[in-house]
Structure 1
Amino acid sequence: MMRNSIAVLAILLLLVRVSSAAEDDSLYTTFLRCLENHTDPTSHVSDTLYSQSNGSYTSVLRAYIRNARFNSSSTNKPLLIVTAADESHVQAAVVCSKSLGLQLKIRSGGHDYAGISYVNDSPFVILDMFQLRSISVDVADQSVWVDSGATLGELYYRVWEKSRVLGFPAGVCPTVAAGGHISGGGYGNMIRKHGLAVDYVLDAKIVDVNGNILDRKSMGEDLFWAISGGGGASFGVILSYKLKLVPIPETVTVFRVERILDQNQSVTDFVYEWQKVAPTTDDRLFMRMLIQPISSQVRKGQKTIRATIVTLFLGNADQLVSLLDKEFPILGLKKENCTETSWIDSVLWWDNRAIGTKPEVLLDRELDSANFLIRKSDYVQTPISKDGLEWIWKKVAELGKTGFVFNPYGGKMNEISPAATPFPHRAGNLYKIQYSVNWNENSPELEKNYTAQIRRLFSYMTPFVSKNPRSAFLNYRDLDIGINTFGENSYEEGEVYGVKYFGDNFDRLVKVKTAVDPDNFFRNEQSIPTLSSKA
């Protein structure tokens, strides 16, 4: 009897697999036929489409998953992946997904912390942009066209190839791709001197909901404004951006200095003074502060706090030492603590590479190399008191794993209107907080523990951060602050997270969205909602 039951079960499982494979082949065939009908036969669109039965499907999917939490067997996988190799493939993918009623997720580099570019609860298709990576530098015009799938490392390298005195103010992680980074605002270690990446967008190309390619002139200023900091995936598929390059001195200076709480080093005074100096000092100076719980070398088995300053100064070491000797004497900076180098070498140094590393490593995309992580964000508008900092150190040590990254504002950020781009977090903020926890083991128990930990620390910080709304940074996607189910209350649900990301710019983004994508084809858990006819 037992053998008969096992045999029946085996037959049923085989039938399920056959049925699934048949559905997979049927959808693949239908989608491919649609793609071929909307592209030139010579574009080889069949080479870009992967179904779940394709032998390369898993490696293509995994390559640009940058958060290993979404690389598990239980994570819902796309029905198809389109690895667009030219613009017509993007157009066709939009048209075909729309006509077949399939939700489309757009992935450029995969660094969205919540994984919303490659994870979805309902059936979906991924449009993967990694093959669209062209970069065209015009030194005479001091500008560059960069495709959405090109990485920041590739962008920096191509600019450096053509000029030693031009650069671009974007992120410090070389494997982040331009599309998502720039469309969400994009900041880096030149933010105080030059502002955000989005402040240097001159033009753009986007595929709209009807499959048309639009540039700045044909899309109009409202849509151009929206995709310059409002998140491109709500409005279409960003193909490329034209960016204005910025002047870079031939010599820049970097240093790293740390203090440890239980080694007779005044971490509290150190961080308290940093809060006053970092957002107000010379615009050429960016001093990131890292706060991390570490194992104590004094009290075995306990945690203590390490505070580390990581710096880029757009000038030489003598200028920097003189400046900080006056403004930040508790730092005690000496010239021997500093390293003078070129801008491209500073990019490598910030990526934890040794000075002298060949710039070609910036072309390495580090595929399928994700660890497990969670991130959140906040903004601080008034300095946290010494008593407040002491209380925070106690909570961080108690929790044991989650740390902070403090990124100072000021400088250029005080000079640009919050309405100039959808990114509203300009003047009034001293620094942005990134909450950060990483781990290496695929363990549901660890994930549960660290999720609870970072949420608890986020709650502890409530008295010290921005209010009404408690603001958040779009490129640090955080689904805890609200998601949209796109039902009858879509606007209200969108407003919950929308005002945190975009402030007073949210309603303008909604109006643009309603005008360009009224049926809400381009959507994700935190996309811009449309206005209903009733609203």
Structure 2
Amino acid sequence: MKYLSSYFTFATAIALLFSFEPPSLDISEKFVQCLYNYPHISNSVSNIVYAQTNSSYSSILDMSIRNYRFFNLSSKPQVIVTPLEVFHIQATIMCSQRHGLQILTRSGGHDYEGLSYVAEVPFVLIDIFNLRQITVDVENQTAWVQAGATLGELYYTISQKSKTLGFPAGVCATVGTGGHFSGGGYGFLMRKYGLAADNIIDAHIIDVNGNLLDRKAMGEDLFWAIRGGGGASFGVIVAWKIKLVPVPSTVTVFNVARTLEENATEIIQKWQLVANKLDERIFIRVDVKKVNSSEPGKQTIQANFVSMFQGGVEELIPLMQKSLPELGLERKDCTETSWIGSVVFANAVLLGSTVNEAPEVLLNRSRFRPGINKAKSDYVRKPIPIDGLQGLWRLLYEVPDGELQFAPYGGKMD
């Protein structure tokens, strides 16, 4: 990638760390002074480094906080670094080590527990949102993606280069590729192509010594670990090389709602039996929440069956009638679109916004509306019985804004 031209070997500059730093400086001031010791970064420090005394500090910190549970915590970074080049990260790592500061890396900020910007010890936050270069190679069906790019930016860029290539990852457009890929990354294409991590063929990571490593240099053990084990556990992920996957020119999407009065429980029970055994081109997620009933003053449980099929509606309907007739899917429930259209659809369903939007909406980094939430994930190996589902519905009635989401595996995921 083009950014590699900015890389320089830190061994030649390491001695500069021992320049004089007045003992009266606090830890953040010493860290910033350390950065000035590197000639390659000294001219950029004022543009990429935000100490707590900087007037822009709070806006930079809050920009990618996706969960307001962590909005006003006392645990804040000593300094925020927003690198423009790889060597900015390398200098940050070396200076953090010298001054005993932990490093947290933030890509999109969507982690459930704020682990990319909250710590119990003094730390530096490397927010890589500026590193978002994406280079698509249609001929070889690959792409290099810098870790600060969002899923929406990746999907949009792919769609501008090809109408028949896609990538299997999540549905929320503002999620960062840095954390998403390193944690696995599942989405509507996973039953056919697996996780995002399954389709990574190379990566660039900066290790604890400031070395920039590719797959060959890091070795297969580390390359395996960063694809699912959390890349930030092993260094700072700079970029991923991904294998793009073929998608048909026409796909079909639907979002069908059923309440308890419309046999939602029974349909979900059947869905549990067949969803992981369907044609691997079909992905059907179930979103369950409490809604107002048609009867005044009452509430009920509603299940939304959200799906994407890699093919046309004329092929989908017979498959659904055979495998899940209880849903009662009809042609009028379905919309044929392109793969990028299905991405816009899935993101709109997630956000509760208008479905028929232009793909450019995927580039809007401020579109996600933060809230106060607590989310947890788990797996089931056998279907939840009817009385178990009914117990879950009772819990949903008890909480103000709870939601359950069921996602099937099967296919490539088995």
Q: Same fold (TM over 0.5)?
A: yes
Give yes or no for contact 1:175–1:365 (8 Å, CA) kept in 2: yes
Q: Match for residue 325 of structure 1?
A: 321
Name the CA shift for 1:75/1:367 in 2 (closer, same or farther; >3 Å): farther
Gaps of 5+ in 1: 1-21, 415-535
Q: Match for residue 254 of structure 1?
A: 253
Q: How far did 1:245 drift?
A: 0.1
Equivalent-residue separation in structure 2 for 1:343 and 1:119 (angstroms): 36
Higher-RCO chain (CA-CA 8 Å, sequence separation at least 6): 2
Deviations 1:74-124 (A, max 9, x none): 432111101111100111111110111111111111111100111122221
Give yes or no for contact 1:251–1:316 (8 Å, CA) kept in 2: yes
CA RMSD for the aligned pairs?
A: 1.9
Give yes or no for contact 1:291–1:305 (8 Å, CA) kept in 2: yes
Equivalent-residue separation in structure 2 for 1:115 and 1:380 (angstroms): 26
Question: Which amino acid letter does the alignment assign opposite residue 270 of structure 1?
Answer: I
Q: How far did 1:373 drift?
A: 1.3
Q: Match for residue 6 of structure 2?
A: none
**Residues 1:134 and 2:130 are matched in the alignment:** no
Equivalent-residue separation in structure 2 for 1:178 and 1:283 (angstroms): 24
* 2:335 maps to which of 314, 332, 339: 339
Q: Match for residue 159 of structure 2?
A: 160
Name the CA shift for 1:382/1:315 in 2 (closer, same or farther; >3 Å): same
Name the CA shift for 1:402/1:367 in 2 (closer, same or farther; >3 Å): closer
Counterparts of residues 233-248 of structure 1 (less than 5 Å): 233-248=232-247
* Larger CA deviation: 186-195 vs 358-367: 358-367
Equivalent-residue separation in structure 2 for 1:92 and 1:211 (angstroms): 7
Deviations 1:505-525 (A, max 9, x none): xxxxxxxxxxxxxxxxxxxxx
**Residues 1:284 and 2:273 are matched in the alignment:** no
Q: How far did 1:37 drift?
A: 2.5
* Larger CA deviation: 399-408 vs 190-199: 399-408
Name the CA shift for 1:294/1:217 in 2 (closer, same or farther; >3 Å): same
Equivalent-residue separation in structure 1 for 2:232 and 2:149 (angstroms): 17
DSSP 3-state at the match of 1:156: helix
DSSP 3-state at the match of 1:243: strand
Question: Which amino acid letter does the alignment assign opposite residue 300 of structure 2?
Answer: T
Question: Which amino acid letter does the alignment assign opposite residue 249 of structure 1?
Answer: P
DSSP 3-state at the match of 2:111: coil
DSSP 3-state at the match of 1:40: helix
Question: Which amino acid letter does the alignment assign opposite residue 139 of structure 2?
Answer: A
* 2:291 maps to which of 272, 289, 294: 294
Deviations 1:102-147 (A, max 9, x none): 1111111111110011112222111111111110100111000001
Name the CA shift for 1:43/1:196 in 2 (closer, same or farther; >3 Å): farther
Give yes or no for contact 1:160–1:166 (8 Å, CA) kept in 2: yes
Name the CA shift for 1:37/1:131 in 2 (closer, same or farther; >3 Å): same
Give yes or no for contact 1:24–1:79 (8 Å, CA) kept in 2: no
Equivalent-residue separation in structure 2 for 1:295 and 1:335 (angstroms): 27
**Residues 1:306 and 2:305 are matched in the alignment:** no
Q: How far did 1:411 drift?
A: 0.6
Q: How far did 1:162 drift?
A: 0.5
Q: Match for residue 46 of structure 1?
A: 46
Name the CA shift for 1:356/1:260 in 2 (closer, same or farther; >3 Å): closer
Equivalent-residue separation in structure 2 for 1:82 and 1:116 (angstroms): 17
DSSP 3-state at the match of 1:374: coil
Deviations 1:471-520 (A, max 9, x none): xxxxxxxxxxxxxxxxxxxxxxxxxxxxxxxxxxxxxxxxxxxxxxxxxx
* Larger CA deviation: 378-387 vs 396-405: 396-405
* Larger CA deviation: 127-136 vs 37-46: 37-46
Name the CA shift for 1:175/1:31 in 2 (closer, same or farther; >3 Å): same
Equivalent-residue separation in structure 1 for 2:43 and 2:243 (angstroms): 31
Q: Match for residue 34 of structure 1?
A: 34
Deviations 1:401-454 (A, max 9, x none): 32200001001111xxxxxxxxxxxxxxxxxxxxxxxxxxxxxxxxxxxxxxxx
DSSP 3-state at the match of 2:361: helix
Gaps of 5+ in 2: 1-21
Question: Which amino acid letter does the alignment assign opposite residue 262 of structure 2?
Answer: Q
**Residues 1:364 and 2:368 are matched in the alignment:** no
Counterparts of residues 80-229 of structure 1 (less than 5 Å): 80-229=79-228
Equivalent-residue separation in structure 2 for 1:256 and 1:277 (angstroms): 18
Q: How far did 1:39 drift?
A: 5.0
DSSP 3-state at the match of 2:184: coil
Q: How far did 1:334 drift?
A: 1.0
Q: How far did 1:371 drift?
A: 1.5
Q: Match for residue 11 of structure 2?
A: none
Q: Match for residue 405 of structure 1?
A: 405
Equivalent-residue separation in structure 2 for 1:23 and 1:323 (angstroms): 72
| Count of equivalent residues | 389
Q: Match for residue 58 of structure 1?
A: 58
Give yes or no for contact 1:39–1:88 (8 Å, CA) kept in 2: no
Q: So what's the TM-score if we normalise by structure 2?
A: 0.90
